[in-house]
Amino acid sequence: MSYSDDMTKLQDIVNRLDSGEMSLEESLALFEKGISLVNSCRKFLEKAQQKVSLISMDANDTEGKPWDPLRENTEKKGERS
């Protein structure tokens, strides 16, 4: 499953639960499935956030500054001196 597919299914579950046209048993089964989808989406988003943090090398980098390995190596050498 993809994140988009999971979100689509989750929205469908929310709409069905909001309709109130199901038995309690059906509602509980859908709620359980929805919680599973929420957890799956949360894990995906956490992994995506970790990737963004690693790529940007600075969790506060909201501008998406390009990575310059030459500048980074120069800065590290300056720190060692």
State the Cα–Cα distance between residues 33 and 41, nearest whole angstrom: 12
Question: What integer pLDDT is reported at residue 52 of this predicted model?
Answer: 83
pLDDT at 79: 53
Print the domain residue range for 54.
Answer: 3-80
Give the residue among 58, 34, 8 at the shortest CA–CA distance from 26: 34
User: ∠ at Cα 47 (29, 42), nearest 5°?
Assistant: 25
CA–CA distance, 42 with 28 (Å, rounded to integer): 21
pTM of the model: 0.63
DSSP string, 7-56: HHHHHHHHHHHHHT-S-HHHHHHHHHHHHHHHHHHHHHHHHHHHHHHHHH
Say what the pLDDT of residue 81 is: 46
Burial class (CB in 10 A: 0-12, 13-18, 19+), 32: exposed
Give residue 45's pLDDT.
93
Series of mean pLDDT values for 10-residue runs along the chain (81 residues)? 93 95 95 96 92 71 66 56 46
Q: Into how many domains does the chain fold?
A: 1
